[in-house]
Amino acid sequence: MEPIQNFQFLRTSCIFLSKKPLPNKPFIGVSKTQLCFSHQHHSLHKPITSKISTNQQTSTISYLINSCGLLPETASLVSQKVHLQNPEKANSVLALLRNHGFSQTQISNLIRKRPLLLLADPENTLLPKLEFFHSIGASSTDLARVLTADPTLLTRSLENQIVPCYNFLKSVLLSDKKIVTALKRTSWIFLEGHTKNLIPNISFLRELGVPESCIVLLLTHFPEALMQKHDNFGHIVNEVKEMGFDPMKSTFVLAIHAISGKGNKSIWERCYEVYRRWGWSKDEILLAFRKHPHCMILSEKKIMRAMDFFVNKMGWPSKMIAKCPVVLLFSLERRIVPRCSVIQVLSLKGLVKKDMSLTTVLLPVEESFLERFVTRFQEEIPQLMSVYQGKVYIESII
């Protein structure tokens, strides 16, 4: 209302100071007398608007710094997008976020990305959305992290967008727990535009005979692969088929994820070059990809560390890894080194054969490995569990 009041002030001033009566015309019908007065006495009204605007911006900047935790430079930029005339509503918004597990850092990032949230109705607009996601099993910690990464969901209608998206996801995943898992991967699954891509892409997979369990796997853990535009998705699916993947197996949908998006494709190409440096042929790389597609979206550092350990520390041939690429995905510190340390001790003591395969060592679940290689030889080597736990070095018991 303020600009309108300022305009009324100017028009009234012109009426009293002009020698001739002014006709009752709309704003575009300004007389020469008015234009002359407005030009000559510009200083009479400009400072009023400017002063009010400056005071508002200064107040907003101060609030963004002191209450929202923004840096001064950031607060100055954000203040151009939101004007806080009354801090009471903004205070209520911040209190609501704190009560739902948002840290001060997360609140700062949230407001930096979506400053207009400070003007939202906390009780009628924001709270129902937070309560909805809590009702399907999202924890406060997870929800705060997801919404801080992308606050767009807080600006969308609960009834017209979020709930319809949920209903569609429930019809496919059948489980709130899986929906929350997908949400933690990307909040975009609750945005209408992306959901529209899900529908034809899922239908396409069903037409190819992809089992429902594999579709659920892809949507739950790698939803971004299914949210591509349908034309792009179809091209990727056909590419995966040409590589020899069977649509009936889970590796088919994992391969779709592995080559989806520009990011994954560039990583795929980089992984290809790394494996070539370790002596793998093109056919061996493609074989590894067909066995476990995600071996082609690992970081170069992870591949190099694992291959160096397998080849240079354990003495396994480089090409042996290509036949069981899943071992490259295991944690070096938590799985590979502890198990291999136990095997090295047993081998040096002559309790197991020296040429034991990496699949025998690394693939069994922890309980099976401990029973077969640690508990079984506990009497012969009492420190074996300590070796497994990294508390004792191999050299100290050889």
Neighbours of 130 (CB within 10 A): 23
Rounded mean pLDDT for each run of 10 residues along the chain, 398 residues in total: 38 38 41 40 40 66 86 87 85 94 94 92 95 97 95 94 95 97 94 85 97 98 94 95 95 95 87 97 96 96 97 93 96 97 94 89 96 95 94 82
| Predicted pLDDT of residue 54 | 65
The contacts of residue 42 (CB under 8 Å, 6+ apart) are none
For residue 251, with 0-12 CB atoms within 10 Å meaning exposed, 13-18 middle and 19 or more buried, which class applies? buried
C-alpha pair distances (Å), 175 with each of 48, 172, 192: 59, 9, 20
| Predicted pLDDT of residue 7 | 34
| Predicted pLDDT of residue 8 | 38
Domain extents for the chain?
2-40, 262-329, 333-397
| Predicted pLDDT of residue 354 | 82
Write a three-state SS string for the chain.
Answer: CHHHHHHHHHHHHHHHHCCCCCCCCCCCCCCHHHHHHHHHCHHHHHHHHHHHHHHHHHHHHHHHHHCCCCCHHHHHHHCCCCCCCCHHHHHHHHHHHHHCCCCHHHHHHHHHHCHHHHHCCHHHHHHHHHHHHHHCCCCHHHHHHHHHHCHHHHHCCHHHHHHHHHHHHHHHHCCHHHHHHHHHHCHHHHCHHHHHHHHHHHHHHHHCCCCHHHHHHHHHHCHHHHCCCHHHHHHHHHHHHHCCCCCCCHHHHHHHHHCCHHHHHHHHHHHHHHHHHCCCCHHHHHHHHHHCHHHHCCCHHHHHHHHHHHHHHCCCCHHHHHHCHHHHHCCHHHHHHHHHHHHHHHHHCCCCCCCCCHHHHHCCCHHHHHHHHCHHHCCCCCCHHHHHCCCCCHHHHC
| Predicted pLDDT of residue 293 | 96
| Predicted pLDDT of residue 56 | 65
| Predicted pLDDT of residue 71 | 87
